[in-house]
Copies of this chain bind each other. A is one copy, B any other.
Amino acid sequence: MTDIIFLAVPASAIIALAFAFFFFKQMMRESEGNDTMRQIAGYVRVGAMSYLKQQYKVVFIVFMVLALLFSLMAYFGVQNPWVPFAFLSGGFFSGLAGFFGMKTATYASARTAHAASKSLNQGLQIAFRSGAVMGLVVVGLALVDISAWYWVLDYFIDDNEPGHKLIIVTTTMLTFGMGASTQALFARVGGGIYTKAADVGADLVGKVEAGIPEDDPRNPATIADNVGDNVGDVAGMGADLYESYCGSILATAALGASAFALNPEMQLKAVFAPMLIAAAGVLLSILGILLVKTHENADMKQLMSALNRGVNLSSLLTALAVYGILYGIELHNWLGLSSAVVCGLIAGIIIGQGAEYYTSHSYRPTQKIAESSATGPATVIISGLGIGMISTALPVMTIGAAIMASFLCAIEFDVQHLLSAENLSLGLYGIGIAAVGMLSTLGITLATDAYGPIADNAGGNAEMSGLGQEVRKRTDALDALGNTTAATGKGFAIGSAALTALVLLASYIEEIRIGLLRLGQTTLTFTHGDSIATQQAGFIDFMNYYQVSLMNPKVLIGMFLGSMMAFVFCGLTMNAVGRAAQKMVEEVRRQFRDIKGILEGSAKPDYARCVEISTQSAQREMLLPSVLALLVPTLTGVVFGVAGVMGLLIGGLSTGFVLAIFMANAGGAWDNAKKYVEEGHLGGKGSDAHKACVVGDTVGDPFKDTSGPSLNILIKLMSMVAIVMAGLTSAWSLF
């Protein structure tokens, strides 16, 4: 019976992959337009693939080193022997999803531009369904990987103690998230540096110095800029959410296995529940995707409502389906846990909408930033930073409310003992379920995200190949819509990363428990002399054993380090963009100087050299932040033990979450403040106000597309590193 239920998971994964393939084929049947269009798309495609090839080379080396390290740890008994394989598979599938997504996106841009020359609806269809390929490949491959590992481990792991086997299976599976995290680190941080080095470099010389418009084919960095959209916004965003998706499902399964350890039948259901919720979400996302269409002569508002219809319908149906499924499998407290899913879904929507309010120039905050351009660039920066900081209030309170609500939904409500040991386990499982709920419709939400850069590239292609005014107007409409979905998508990515990191943090204790058991430490002895069997010990016992209390200096120091890591990581990526953009500026200036006739359009710029510079800079610049993100949690564990690590993770999470929202929203608002002026307000294009807003936009570029999103990775990766290093930490620490 349970096996049949579980078949639903790989089945829905295969359906998702089939639809992805179908959408891809459908898109490939379209024409790529005239020769120029095809040529430009070709440049971007070659550039994107050459970047990916270079990145995979580096990633391959890193994965080999880490896999070797995990094997050694397994050999010395401080690591599960399955971990090296799980790690590699997580990385492989995440990389594969990125590859397919980017391949699709680079084939789709010219086709979108060509389709837009026929009608707006056709343009929307091509771009959105190509984005859907990314969305469906991500959720499909994630569920394939999860199902496969579950089967393998269920088959090979031998443990007759009731309730114990599932704990081992789920905690082992969780470590395949480390592969996804490492891949995401490279895709998001490397991609983020790449895209903004190209963008900032292209703007600084092209727009500001040479006075040629955006996406002008005379600008040597323009292809690199278009490649960057694919590298950062498609592959990077995809890898980021692949990691959140897997991480939340796997961590919640681990929390379920622990919460119901004494009731093996219910335990199995609790482990399956997050996967089944995900499976339902996948199928209903496909339905939503199919429903996104509009009239031939739709305006911006109708385009927006077409997208919203798809997303909202998927969310609503998923919520209903979850009540049915959890009731059907007779999960303990199915009503409460289904409601926790709804908490997650609603929180995701509120955070997305909040991001739109603070970053769209239809609303006051962004307009205020634009108005402050009257007194020059400095006041644009000041007001953007101020509004970005204030904008953190809504998402933080939303996440706080979602945590409290899903916790309360999941527990046995008894005011006297809200936080009993049992309730804490149940409640944390509930928070996990909320995270899974938030991410359950990822198939369609990621489709709307990936749609953005495709539409952007289509606009670039139309501009460079000199298509008519009418077509450009249509691609502009598609692009403007993409900017809005990008803002909501970023908010969603940050919110889900925060919840995922929190659930990973909770499951960290499970890994510590398993680590201790592997080392043969069967009892925990407390400072006051009591002792308890490791296997029976729950959350609260472990927290007491390691004295993970707020006044433990190790926890305090860990928290300070965590907060610091968020800032230092951001600072390093900001500087990386600055340096890489500088290199790009020099190269573009050199080409303008050395290649005669480039500005008159009689000579062709050397696009490939610019792509190469961005690629190399990105790979070199991401080294230091990556090493820090991997080393700091490990070293903190070695020096300050479990208490220090938990302080580090929670400090990094709370500061990193708020900092990420601040950066994403400030960056988005500056971008749209500039667009607001360009639309003719406050003096319009070329005015002093516009120049001031361009400064804001340039500062905002690394904010919203490099440093901000990189924090999503940091907060999850630090938790994942702590999880795979848990064996080492439980074996030995200095203090």
Which residues does A use to contact B, with CB under 8 Å? 200, 204, 208, 372, 375-379, 381-383, 385-393, 396-397, 399-400, 403-404, 407, 417-421, 424, 427-428, 431, 502, 505-506, 509, 527-528, 539-540, 543-544, 547-557, 559-564, 566-568, 570-572, 574-575, 577-578, 581-582, 585, 646-647, 650-651, 654-655, 657-659, 662, 694-695, 698-699, 702, 735
Contact = CB atoms under 8 A, between A and B. Distances in A.
A559 B204 contact: no
Contact of A578 (B372, B543, B553): B372
Contacts of A578: 372, 379, 382-383, 386
B557 A389 contact: no
A66 B612 CA distance: 64
Contacts of A554: 404
B568 A392 contact: yes
B650 A575 contact: no
Contacts of A548: 549-551
Given A386-B578, A424-B551, A560 B527 contact: no
Contact of A564 (B393, B403, B563, B695): B393
Given A654-B655, A655-B658, A695-B381, A389 B567 contact: yes
B400 A560 contact: yes
A403 B551 contact: no
A578 B377 CA distance: 12
A572 B651 CA distance: 23
Contact of A553 (B427, B559, B655, B698): B427
B699 A381 contact: yes
Contact of A654 (B375, B403, B559): B559
A63 to B, nearest CB: 28
B547 A550 contact: no
B559 A650 contact: yes
A392 B155 CA distance: 49
A462 B440 CA distance: 68
A364 to B, nearest CB: 12
Q: Which 8 A-B pairs have the closest CB atoms?
A: A389-B571, A386-B574, A378-B698, A386-B575, A390-B571, A396-B564, A400-B557, A563-B654
A267 B377 CA distance: 59
Nearest to A547: B419
A208 B655 contact: no
Given A382-B702, A551-B424, A403 B563 contact: no
- Give chain A's interface secondary structure class: helix
A708 B400 CA distance: 26
Contacts of A387: 571, 575
Given A654-B560, A702-B382, A419 B527 contact: yes
Contacts of A404: 553-554, 557, 735
Contacts of A204: 375-376, 378-379
Contacts of A385: 571, 574, 699
Contacts of A392: 564, 567-568, 571
Nearest to A650: B550
Contact of A390 (B378, B417, B575, B695): B575
Nearest to A661: B567
B379 A581 contact: yes
Contacts of A552: 419, 424
A390 B568 contact: yes
Contacts of A540: 547, 549
Nearest to A566: B658
A328 B646 CA distance: 41
B657 A654 contact: no
A660 B554 CA distance: 22
A560 B396 contact: yes
A550 B539 contact: no
A382 B571 contact: no
Contact of A550 (B555, B563, B662, B699): B555
A571 B669 CA distance: 14
Given A577-B382, A651-B654, A735 B403 contact: no
A400 B658 CA distance: 22
A447 B64 CA distance: 58
A570 B204 CA distance: 30
A706 B252 CA distance: 43
Contacts of A372: 578, 582
A221 to B, nearest CB: 13
A288 to B, nearest CB: 31
Given A383-B578, A389-B568, A418-B735, A657 B560 contact: yes
A403 B556 contact: yes
Given A564-B658, A568-B389, A571-B389, A699 B378 contact: yes
A549 B553 contact: no
A261 to B, nearest CB: 17
7 contacts: A204-B376, A396-B561, A400-B557, A403-B556, A407-B553, A505-B551, A549-B550
A657 B391 CA distance: 20
A386 B625 CA distance: 13
A592 to B, nearest CB: 15
B399 A560 contact: yes
Contacts of A383: 574-575, 578
A729 to B, nearest CB: 15
Nearest to A525: B416
Nearest to A391: B571
A19 to B, nearest CB: 37
A643 to B, nearest CB: 8
Given A543-B551, A657-B560, A382 B650 contact: no
Contacts of A568: 389-390, 392-393
A295 to B, nearest CB: 41
Contacts of A419: 527, 547, 552
Contacts of A381: 381, 695, 699
Nearest to A570: B389
A47 to B, nearest CB: 23
